Amino acid sequence: MTFYEKPTDLRAACRTGDYDGPTSGHAQGYVQANMVILPAADAAEFRQFCKKNPKPCPVLEILDPGDPEPKNCAPGADIRTDLSRYRVFRDGEPVGDVTDISDVWEDDFVTFLLGCSFTAEEALIAAGLEPRHIKETGIVPMFRTTKSTEGAGKFTGPFVVSMRPYTPEDAQRAADVTEKYPMAHGGPIQIGSPDALGIRDINAPEYGEPVTIEDGEVPVFWSCGVTPQEAIRNAKPRIAVTHAPGYMFVSDLESDSGKV
């Protein structure tokens, strides 16, 4: 698989259809973002949902209605073509994944770019804590939990979490590293107890792919930017578009720009 070092090169490859794979490990040093697109009529409530749930929904940029260019995160980019895969929802139900949303774009669409834990994964790698899904060249496993978000109007639903296994000692090190990146979901919300989040089978994620958990390792759970997709299912907007889980928007922002 080709790995792209520059965000502009990755986005160009997505735009031309030359790349349609997951983005973890690409364009290291740059912020990756979850994406939600909604009609303007639904955008105000979703903005409040993000404000009430900053851990899973840290806002990087909100685009003006109908504007496909993220002028702060990636000037010159086109949100309609520059992701490797999108998920389209109608009345709250996913109807398919596509690689270009130009044909469903509407003049009043409002795009939200939200922080993603992939941004902090580079720091984990630098600390000698490479996530298992990167080693296994897969998509990070993500689980629907029984932990509820704080609702805003019709937008409400469960937290979704991503999971990376570590030894207990390394789990604490990973927590220390990721807590410095609040715009990438910050530190973990749970270590070692999937039952506490209502996760019944650690080998059956709702999103992404399972990873190997070695003897002596525990699952470590972080807030995840797929959480809004669960809220969309409940809100049932006429139409919505998100990134496909694991297929993020790669911005021109440097990773350390969201570090504290």
How confident is the model over 126-152, as pLDDT tens digits? 999 999 999 998 899 999 999 999 999
Q: Does a structural domain hold residue 221?
A: yes
Q: How many C-beta atoms lie closer than 10 Å to residue 150's C-beta?
A: 11
What does the block give as tokens for 151? 């609702």
Same domain, 199 and 241: no
Nearest to 42 by CA among 179, 181, 240: 240
The number of residues in the chain equals 260
Q: Is the pLDDT at 117 greater than 90, yes or no?
A: no
Q: Is the pLDDT at 257 greater than 90, yes or no?
A: no
Q: Does a structural domain hold residue 132?
A: yes
Same domain, 72 and 37: yes
Q: Does a structural domain hold residue 141?
A: yes
DSSP 8-19: HHHHHHHHHTS-
CATH of the domain at 25: 3.40.1640.10
Phi, psi of 212 (to 5 degrees): -70, 135
Helix (H) or strand (E) holding 48, with range, is helix 40-52
Q: Does a structural domain hold residue 2?
A: no
Q: Which pLDDT score is estimated for 122?
A: 87
**Contacts (Cβ under 8 Å, ≥6 apart) of 233:** 89, 92, 93, 157
**Tens digit of pLDDT for each residue in 14-70?**
999 999 999 988 999 999 999 999 999 999 999 999 999 999 999 999 999 999 999
Q: By residue range, what is the domain housing residue 146?
A: 118-227
Number of domains comprising the chain: 2
Q: What mean pLDDT is reported for the chain?
A: 96
**Tens digit of pLDDT for each residue in 212-254?**
999 999 999 999 999 999 999 999 999 999 999 989 999 999 9
Q: Are 74 and 11 in contact (CB under 8 A)?
A: yes
Residue with tokens 């139409």: 239
Q: Does a structural domain hold residue 260?
A: no
Same domain, 20 and 112: yes
Helix (H) or strand (E) holding 104, with range, is none
Same domain, 80 and 35: yes
Same domain, 63 and 150: no
What does the block give as tokens for 248? 């993020």
Same domain, 173 and 237: no
Q: Is the pLDDT at 260 greater than 60, yes or no?
A: no
Nearest to 87 by CA among 77, 74, 76, 96: 96
Same domain, 122 and 219: yes
**Tens digit of pLDDT for each residue in 142-193?**
999 999 999 999 999 999 999 999 999 999 999 999 999 999 999 999 999 9
Same domain, 112 and 122: no
Q: Does a structural domain hold residue 1?
A: no
CATH of the domain at 221: 3.30.2040.10
Same domain, 87 and 126: no
Same domain, 142 and 90: no
pTM of the predicted structure, to 2 decimals? 0.92
End-to-end CA distance of the chain: 33
Reduced to 3 states (helix: H, G, I; strand: E, B; else coil), residue 177 is helix
